[in-house]
Amino acid sequence: MSKIPYKTYLSESEMPTKWYNVRADMKNKPAPLLNPGTLQPMTAQELSAVFCDELIKQELDNDTPFIDIPEEICDFYKMYRPSPLVRAYCLEKALDTPAKIYYKFEGNNTSGSHKLNSAIAQAYYAKKQGLKGVTTETGAGQWGTALSMACAYLGLDCKVYMVKVSYEQKPFRREVMRTYGASVTPSPSETTNVGKKILAEHPGTTGSLGCAISEAVEAATTTEGYRYVLGSVLNQVVLHQSIIGLESKLAFDKIGEKPDVIIGCAGGGSNLGGLIAPFMGEKLRGEADYRIVAVEPASCPSFTRGKFAYDFCDTGMVCPLAKMYTLGSGFIPSPNHAGGLRYHGMSSILSQLYHDGLMEAASVDQTSVFAAAQQFARVEGILPAPESSHAIRVAIDEALKCKETGEEKTIFFGLTGTGYFDMVAYQKYNDGEMSDYIPTDEDLAVGFAGLPKVDK
Amino acid sequence: MSKIPYKTYLSESEMPTKWYNVRADMKNKPAPLLNPGTLQPMTAQELSAVFCDELIKQELDNDTPFIDIPEEICDFYKMYRPSPLVRAYCLEKALDTPAKIYYKFEGNNTSGSHKLNSAIAQAYYAKKQGLKGVTTETGAGQWGTALSMACAYLGLDCKVYMVKVSYEQKPFRREVMRTYGASVTPSPSETTNVGKKILAEHPGTTGSLGCAISEAVEAATTTEGYRYVLGSVLNQVVLHQSIIGLESKLAFDKIGEKPDVIIGCAGGGSNLGGLIAPFMGEKLRGEADYRIVAVEPASCPSFTRGKFAYDFCDTGMVCPLAKMYTLGSGFIPSPNHAGGLRYHGMSSILSQLYHDGLMEAASVDQTSVFAAAQQFARVEGILPAPESSHAIRVAIDEALKCKETGEEKTIFFGLTGTGYFDMVAYQKYNDGEMSDYIPTDEDLAVGFAGLPKVDK
């Protein structure tokens, strides 16, 4: 048999034309979003002030296993997809491991990450509904960049509320979005009532994701022809991101391989949910078994130390409640945390799967994450995003275990993106100035104390 | 016939295993490098204090048409190559042109450009010669990044002298190089005699590429086990970069297409020389005809307004003389020039081909270059490097001409890299603060006045 190539690409005709909805195969469905006022499940009509109609359908659909990808989205995907399934020959050699290591690389597009897979879908449905534009928030900027790209392509307005501290510290991310025609507003701002209120109460604030969400939602609901879009956590996002796992599965089939362990980083769950979707589907249907590992920062440990409970999706508490593993919407990771994945909660789908014992979770310290990132960059030639590097850390650790045991496991991880706009964090690491932080139980208690009382 | 795909990849088994040396097919060979002292052609022995032995062979070889790519380099190429030949369907649609537009995209690797193709080759031969490390200079940082990556992979020391103003203004480029283990020194520095001398004479200087070259050469020639490497201009670089054109040609053959016009940006000539090599070979052998266009900035117009003469390769005048189209080694582009391609001279190979009428040259203003970059980014989803955008500008202009005439030309250009580290320039453009500059004849006369008197 000929050697497995470094990179396996599907041909364009082999690319998936349907997203896979893992909820259809889940025995225990993810819990519904609740109206924060009535504590009753959100109806499509209640959601329609905020979200596009077709996306609401996808959000609420727990039954349809496959959903057609519209042709226009398939065409857009062809601009930057299929992404390669890479055999990490050089990393294997450097680790001297008998394990076979594969990764799916989603960073070869200008947004720098997998976020574009859902951004184009959400922008497409907004355009199709005849809307004028969309609003969103962005922290590190990957989602904002992806949405700006999608909107530029479709001729849709894009208003991004960017956490003020990021706006000031990451001017280059901001300029990429502006190059794609988005308007980028530092949050909190004077352009919304909630922004004005926060500025009046905390004049010197550098903002937070929670505040930016509140501003983006207000802007969407008070501007004719706009809706709000979100890059993670939601069911619809996991649906769109299933393209990652579907392509991976087809590529593995093509080379006649099958992963034993599947590893992905987890912040809100957009990447991990998409990466594992079809593999989890096989597991749920009893057709195959895989070990699946979610990796999160020790400084923001939703899965490993959070509670499975209904909570607000945003710190401003304007959004519906979701049942998920959460640290409480008031939890904010330590300022020394540079490695992304700062969200206090987790996708309801992944939370349910984890709760049902269908996947594991691990937490890792950020200095060990950057050590893995550097090692990976030097042998595999890709500078990984800090987020992605959480998965690299655990993949390397698994491969080193195989070295000890002699097992020839097939390890597969998601490499979600590149770190070109994260060099401040790399610099800290290069200068030996990066530290670790593990919240104490007392630290976590503060977030838990703010959990809403919901009897479900 | 099925639709031509958006992206055409070669399989790994189809990838070229030999570089193509266009000099072998040139009737008029490029003029030899001259010893600046004796004005006689540099011998291999004279060059060996500065360059690796195998690279000197390649530099001086005007006759061998194909040179084997060592297996280790082929393996490294497989980490990030083949690069895709992309059909720009979205750009065609946006321009409403009957022309077919293709580009070869070299930016999907962490160095962000084609520079890695030669960096790995030069680092490999240095390693094979048993050297401890290499030195080089970098301005914008693409070459320094590429060399750092190659050296990290091979376990070779890498000392980069980075023009001080870039070192300070582009800290992220610097951090990428440090992440790859390179030592990065702002130039001029106290680490070399020439650096000390310049600092003593001009205490506040922010450095220049010429000074950084001088420091890198001094560091290489005075440190046991080191040699100097260069990312453009040299014949060996054009040889290594032929991988771009070879892959392109194979991909065109695969889809049954043939370009009418080939367009590339030109600074020192590394990308353009590689892109056109096999096509120029066919042209030289009378097997096919192509229109070939070099695009340069109006503010640094070596081809379109320079002289074909022997000149120093560096402003410090420590390197050999090369016969080339040049603005004089003392020429420095206006400080308002943000778009790369600042080198005063041009590859001797390309200079000879241009002199012999085998290719054309065009110069473009930087605001029009950034307008093309923005338009391209918004429809093709790739944020291009300013350098690459020179080629985009002319490709778009050619496609718009086709729209007028109704011609269905096949336009092919080289997209050398991404602009993620060039956002300061994009910001200037986004803010409407970018201006154009065309040197007057008087401006150019200053550079020409410094040309050495060589009777060849």
Do residue A279 and residue A325 come from a single domain? Answer: yes
CB B297 within 8 A of CB B441: no
Is A433 a residue whose pLDDT tops 90?
A: yes
Residue A456 lies in a domain: no
Residue B246 lies in a domain: yes
Q: What is the mean pLDDT of residues A239-252?
A: 98
Q: How many CA atoms lie within 13 A of B173 on its CB side?
A: 33
Q: Is B228 helix (H, G, I), strand (E, B) or coil?
A: strand
A97 in the same domain as A170: no
CA of B416, closest CA in chain A: separation in Å?
A: 14
State whether A175 and B427 contact (CB < 8 Å): yes
Q: Is the pLDDT of residue A339 over 80?
A: no
Interface test with A, best of B14, B172, B379, B415 (most A CBs within 10 A): B172
**pLDDT at residue A168, as a whole number:** 87
The one-letter amino acid code at B7 reads: K
Of B228, B259, B294, the position where a domain reaches its end is B228
Establish whether this prediction's ipTM goes over 0.85: yes
Q: Is the confidence at residue A416, as pLDDT, over 80?
A: yes
Q: Tell me if A143 sits within 8 A of A162, measured CB to CB.
A: no
Q: Which of B9, B172, B381 sits opposite A423 (nearest CB)?
A: B172
Q: Tell whether A391 and A321 lie within a shared domain.
A: yes
**Helices within A327-440 (DSSP H only):** 348-355, 366-380, 386-405, 423-430
Candidates B1, B101, B378: best to mutate against A (most CBs of A within 10 A) is B378
Q: Which of A228, A259, A290 is the last residue of a domain?
A: A228
Query: Tokens 């630290």 identify what position?
Result: A443
Neighbour tally for A159: CB within 10 Å: 23
pLDDT band at A317 (very low <50, low <70, confident <90, very high): confident
Structure tokens at A108: 């070869």
Residue of B nearest to A154 (CA): B379
Could you tell me the residue range of the domain that residue B199 belongs to?
Answer: 19-68+114-228
Q: What is the pLDDT of residue A90?
A: 96
Least confident of A159-163, A424-428, B162-166: B162-166
Average pLDDT value for chain A: 94
- Say how many domains are in chain B: 2
> What's the CATH number where B197 sits?
3.40.50.1100
- The predicted pLDDT at position A456 comes to 66
- Over residues A434-454, mean pLDDT: 93
- Any domain includes A454: no
CA distance B419 to chain A (A): 9
Which residue, among A155, A73, A143, A85, has the nearest Cα to A112 in the 3D structure?
A: A143
Whether B266 and B165 share a structural domain: no
Q: Within this chain, do residues A208 and A345 fall inside the same structural domain, yes or no?
A: no
Nearest CA in chain A to B379: A153
Nearest CA in chain A to B417: A110
The CA distance from A371 to the nearest CA of chain B, in Å, is 10
Domain assignment present for residue B396? The answer is yes
| Domain C-terminal end among A187, A206, A228 | A228
Type of residue at B106: E
Q: Tell whether B322 and B373 lie within a shared domain.
A: yes
Is the pLDDT reported for residue A35 higher than 60? yes
Residues B193 and B217 in one domain: yes
DSSP code for A221: H
Same domain, B38 and B130: yes
Residue A289 within a domain: yes
Q: Quickly list H helices, B265-385.
A: 270-284, 302-305, 348-355, 366-380
Within-domain flag for B234: no
Largest Cα separation within chain B, whole Å, is 69
Percent of chain A whose pLDDT exceeds 90? 86
Residue A51 lies in a domain: yes
Residues B7, A12: C-beta atoms closer than 8 Å:
yes
The residues near B203 (Cβ < 8 Å, ≥ 6 apart) are none
Q: Is the dihedral of CA A344, A349, A354, A359 positive or negative?
A: negative
Pair B276, B197 in one domain: no
Query: Once rounded to an integer, what is the mean pLDDT over residues A204-230?
Result: 90
**Could you tell me what percent of chain A has a pLDDT over 70?**
99
pLDDT in tens, chain B (456 residues): 578 999 999 999 999 999 999 999 999 999 999 998 899 999 999 999 999 999 999 999 999 999 999 999 999 999 999 999 999 999 999 999 999 999 999 999 999 999 999 999 999 999 999 999 999 999 889 999 999 999 999 999 999 999 898 898 888 999 999 999 999 999 999 999 989 998 998 888 888 887 898 899 999 999 999 999 999 999 999 999 999 999 999 999 999 999 999 999 999 999 999 999 999 999 999 999 999 999 999 999 999 999 999 999 877 677 899 999 999 988 877 777 777 788 889 999 999 999 999 999 999 999 999 999 999 999 999 999 999 999 999 999 999 999 999 999 999 999 999 999 999 999 999 999 999 999 999 999 999 999 999 876
Q: Report the distance separating Cα A250 and Cα A254, nearest Å.
A: 6
Residues A307 and A377 in one domain: yes
Q: Give the number of residues written for chain A.
A: 456
Phi-psi region of B96 (alpha: psi -120 to 50; beta: other; left: phi over 0): left
Is A76 inside any structural domain?
A: no
pTM of the model: 0.96
Write the residue in B11, B116, B423 that is nearest to A172 by C-beta: B423
| Confidence at residue B169, expressed as pLDDT on a 0 to 100 scale | 82
Rg (CA), chain B: 21
- Whole-number Å distance between alpha carbons of B175 and B170: 9
Strands (E), A24-182: 66-68, 85-87, 100-105, 133-138, 157-163
Contact in structure between A341 and A266 (CB atoms under 8 Å): yes
Same domain membership, residue A308 and residue A259: yes
Contact by Cβ (8 Å): B240, B273: no
A382 vs B171: CB contact, 8 Å cut-off? Answer: no
Q: Which residues of B touch A9 (CB under 8 A)?
A: 9
Q: What is the pLDDT of residue B149?
A: 97
Statement to judge: residues A301 and A354 lie in one domain? yes
User: Is there a contact between B302 and B329 (Cβ–Cβ < 8 Å)?
Assistant: no
Report the pLDDT value the prediction gives residue A383, as an integer from 0 to 100: 97
Of A272, A287, A195, the residue nearest A238 (C-alpha): A272
The token duo for B88 is 């720009």
> For A175, which of B90, B112, B423 is closest by C-beta distance?
B423
